[in-house]
Amino acid sequence: MGYGIITTQNIISLHEKLKRTDKIYHIFKEAHFDEVIRTKTLRFAKVTSWKDPWELPAKYIKKIQADKDRYIEFIANTNNLPLLISCAGMCFCKQFDKEAMWQYYAYREAEHDPPEKAGQHDTCEKAGVCIETTVEGIIDSLNLEHVSGGFVGPVLYLDFSGENAKRLIVNENAETYPSYMYMGYVKRNNYEYEEEIRIILDMGNKISEDYVEIPCDIQKLVNKIYLSPGLSDEKIDSLRKKYCRLNVDIDISKLYSISDLNIPKLSDEEWQKVMVSGGLPENSDLLYFRQSSGEWVKK
């Protein structure tokens, strides 16, 4: 069986489940996004430098039961994924507007803050910036002059418990990824809500630092910007002015908005009836709270 990939017009290949037009998202802290604009580069982290043990689980596996499958022989190598040393990756996601995503990617004070620290910050002034792009957009925006190859694919979320750990290697989806990059696309199933899409680049030679900065055409990359929820009006105005030169739509996350919820909209007089006497507006199919009896009632 061959890899389930679709070759693009350049050296980056796609997983069979992805299309070039698929929308993908990445959340930056405001300062980090400003740095992207200033330097016109995107930072790709060396895959083997990822700190979270569940980002590259095979790096931490000491023993794997003997198995005839060819992936066992590769992953169990005592050199700990030697071929991935030349690879650097960047993570995107299929859906961005989730509380956990903003907290983790936008509000931590430092790269290695624990996730629980994220919620301790004042989100009214600490801005996160989410860019919307496409698979095609990220590929076409990058200067690939020093890149030997690359792959874009969805993360596989697997159960690592007990005997299931063998599925890290003996997995029906493994052959849809380049073999030496496969473990860069595996993560514990507790993180399934992230719906990650990763782009991993083969830099050819070993990367001396923990990251590599790839030149990027920002205009080709960014289709739209979403600002994090909970920002003050002043902060929103400031960010709109700052990023208007990118000539893309700038929207606000709807995560904290109640405008789209199906909440009964009553006039002051109608609410007064509900609060005082439990009276309800005519022709209503919604439930209302009757304070006098402490009941939810339907007219």
Distances (CA, A) of 190 to 64, 193, 269: 22, 8, 49
One domain for residues 195 and 50 = yes
pLDDT of the residue at 78: 38
Largest separation between any pair of C-alpha atoms in the chain: 77
One domain for residues 53 and 173 = yes
Q: Which of 3-12, 162-171, 254-263 has the lowest mean pLDDT?
A: 3-12
Q: Which domain holds residue 290?
A: 268-298
Percent of the chain with pLDDT over 70: 64
pLDDT of the residue at 82: 56
Domain count, the chain: 2
One domain for residues 167 and 33 = yes
Say yes or no to pLDDT of 263 above 70.
no
263 part of a folded domain: no
Per DSSP, 165 falls in state G
260 part of a folded domain: no
One domain for residues 293 and 145 = no
Quick: pLDDT tens for 138-169.
999 999 988 989 999 999 998 877 666 666 66
One domain for residues 232 and 288 = no
105 part of a folded domain: yes
pLDDT of the residue at 219: 95
One domain for residues 63 and 172 = yes
Say yes or no to pLDDT of 291 above 90.
no
Say yes or no to pLDDT of 209 above 70.
yes
Percent of the chain with pLDDT over 90: 39
Say yes or no to pLDDT of 26 above 80.
yes
CB within 8 A of 25, min separation 6: which ones? Answer: 92, 93, 94, 95, 96, 130, 131, 132, 133, 226
pLDDT of the residue at 43: 95
One domain for residues 175 and 216 = yes
Distance CA 142, CA 154 (A): 19
161 part of a folded domain: yes
Distance CA 92, CA 138 (A): 10
Confidence of residue 64 (pLDDT cuts 50, 70, 90): very low
Distance CA 40, CA 32 (A): 12
Task: Please state the rounded mean pLDDT for residues 273-297.
Answer: 56
One domain for residues 35 and 156 = yes
pLDDT of the residue at 190: 87
One domain for residues 197 and 275 = no
82 part of a folded domain: yes
Task: Please state the rounded mean pLDDT for residues 92-108.
Answer: 85
One domain for residues 142 and 283 = no
172 versus 74: which is more confidently predicted?
A: 172
Quick: pLDDT tens for 66-88.
444 444 444 444 344 556 788 99
229 versus 107: which is more confidently predicted?
A: 229
43 part of a folded domain: yes
Say yes or no to pLDDT of 289 above 70.
no
Say yes or no to pLDDT of 253 above 80.
yes
257 part of a folded domain: no
One domain for residues 115 and 25 = yes
One domain for residues 146 and 283 = no
Calculate the CA 182 to chain-centre distance: 19
158 part of a folded domain: yes
78 versus 96: which is more confidently predicted?
A: 96
Q: Which of 24-28, 55-59, 122-126, 207-211 has the lowest mean pLDDT?
A: 122-126
Distance CA 4, CA 86 (A): 22
